[in-house]
Amino acid sequence: MTRQTTIALIRGDGIGVEVTDAAMEVVNAAVSRAGGQALVFSEIAAGAGYFQQTGLDIEQDGEERAGDADAIFLGAIGLPSVRRPDGTEIAPHLRLRDRYGLYAGVRPVKAYPNAPQRLADPRAAAIDLIILRESTEGLFYSAAVHGRGEVIGDSEARDILRITRTTTEKLHNFAFRLATRRKDRGGQGKVTCVDKANVFNSMAFFRKIFDEIAPKYPDIAHDYAYVDAQALNLIRQPWESDVLVMENMFGDILSDLGGGLVGGMGMAACAEIGDEHGLFQPAHGTAPDIMGQDKANPLAAILSGALMLDYLAERTGLDAYAEAARMVDDAVQAGFEANRIHPMEFGGNMGTKAVTREVLAQIDSAS
């Protein structure tokens, strides 16, 4: 009997509950169709709502159970009205990133046919890039564990930006390996180092390590962009980009811009991967204004589920997970190509359940 594959499931707050349920329904259907053993879910309570009820942002053994699972799936966490005494939001997932070294934040940005294109240029239909966000250091280093920043009296606040060689080497190697896999599938085979090396010592260090890693991958092109110029490039010519590797805060900002280019944050899938653990989540927020109304676009969560299946295939060596991941990606692509997916986020008439049903129908109809 094949060992069971366990997913730590954190639905979280707001629409996180709805889109997680949608994603896991699709993932289960694809795994079953691919002939794989059903995933086992270990549910973990966490988030702002849980904090309101208990004073804890994650259940007592939640972090340990998350680490024991083969992968972690997170819906969304946080409610604007629920804050800690210092004004920060409830964010146990930042601790999970830090604790389990989830340094590689993979944010795909892909245009789909018949989905909104925010740019008039017809080349925007070919947008297919990855924003690779370092997820444990950078300016978010201060946020992961309280006490790394400081407020001096009531006149000054400071946060620490941290770049280490160990993590940055891993990140850049990850970027080039990712570009290699994409090139094997018809991608450009290019990595762009996005930084602010002309101003900050930390960013010059980030680029220095990039220059040390790049020669190890002679078949992959590489170049550089300052983050402000890259923001402009994502508006002017995003189809020229392949894998963009950058510091944590820069990635947080540019990945939202990328999501906007291809329809909205409801399309923004995310994988956060370390040496031994992986966490998968839609990159959007909890949208409490539409929670429970069947209005959320579940595609970011569904596509994050496909990223999770790819990760599980690599970790376990089971071909069924790789096949299931392909099925999910193909189902979303086919649904858009047939002009059968119209999320409310895009001004359409399909809520969470209807979009999910269509993706499931595409999986069922695939040969």
CB 248, CB 133: distance < 8 Å: yes
Burial 255-285 (b: 16+ CB within 10 A, else e): bbebbbbbbbbbbbbbbbbbeebbbbbbbbb
Please give the pLDDT value at position 142.
75
Residue pair 113/338 in contact by the 8 Å Cβ criterion: no
Instruction: Name the segment(s) of the chain with CATH classification 3.40.718.10.
Output: 1-101+275-367, 117-261
Fold of 117-261: Isopropylmalate Dehydrogenase (3.40.718)
Closest by CA to 149, choosing from 159, 164, 139, is 159
pLDDT of residue 1: 47
Q: Can you give the pLDDT at residue 367? A: 56
Phi, psi of 22, deg, nearest 5: -65, -45
Q: 129: phi > 0 → left, psi -120 to 50 → alpha, else beta; which?
A: beta
Contact 39, 71 (CB under 8 A): no
Burial 19-50 (b: 16+ CB within 10 A, else e): bbbbbbbbbbbbbebbebbebeebebbbbbbb
Burial class (CB in 10 A: 0-12, 13-18, 19+), 218: exposed
Look at residues 201, 209, 207 and name the one whose alpha carbon lies nearest to residue 161: 201
Spatial contact of 285 and 258, defined as CB atoms under 8 Å apart: no
- The full 3-state SS of 183-197, as one line of letters, equals HHCCCCCEEEEEECC
Query: β-strand 71-76 against 6-12: which pairing, if any?
Result: parallel
The contacts of residue 94 (CB under 8 Å, 6+ apart) are 140, 143, 144
- The class (CATH top level) of 1-101+275-367 is alpha beta
Evaluate the CA torsion angle 283, 261, 311, 190 in order and state its sign: negative
Residue by residue, DSSP assigns 284-298 as: S---TTTTTTT----
The residues, ordered by sequence, that sit 6+ positions from 273 with a Cβ below 8 Å of its Cβ are 102, 103, 104, 106, 174, 279, 311
Cα gap 358→337, rounded to integer Å: 12
Q: pLDDT digit of tens for each residue in the chain (367 aa)? A: 467 999 999 999 999 999 999 999 999 999 999 999 999 999 999 999 999 999 999 999 999 999 999 999 999 999 988 988 877 788 899 899 989 999 999 999 999 999 988 898 999 999 999 999 999 999 888 765 555 677 888 899 888 899 999 999 999 999 999 999 999 999 999 999 999 999 999 999 999 999 999 999 999 999 999 999 999 999 999 999 999 999 999 999 999 999 999 988 999 999 999 999 999 999 999 999 999 999 999 999 999 999 999 999 999 999 999 999 999 999 999 999 999 999 999 999 999 999 999 999 999 998 5
Encoding tokens for residue 222? 């590489």
CA–CA distance, 66 with 104 (Å, rounded to integer): 18
At 340 the three-state DSSP class reads: coil
Q: Is 117 left (phi over 0), alpha (psi -120 to 50) or beta?
A: beta
User: What pLDDT was estimated at residue 152?
Assistant: 86
- Measure Cα distances from 58 to 44, 50, 291, 294 in Å: 8, 7, 21, 26
How far is residue 357's CA from residue 352's CA, in Å, rounded to a whole number?
9
For helices 248-261 and 227-236, give the axis angle rounded to 10 degrees: 10
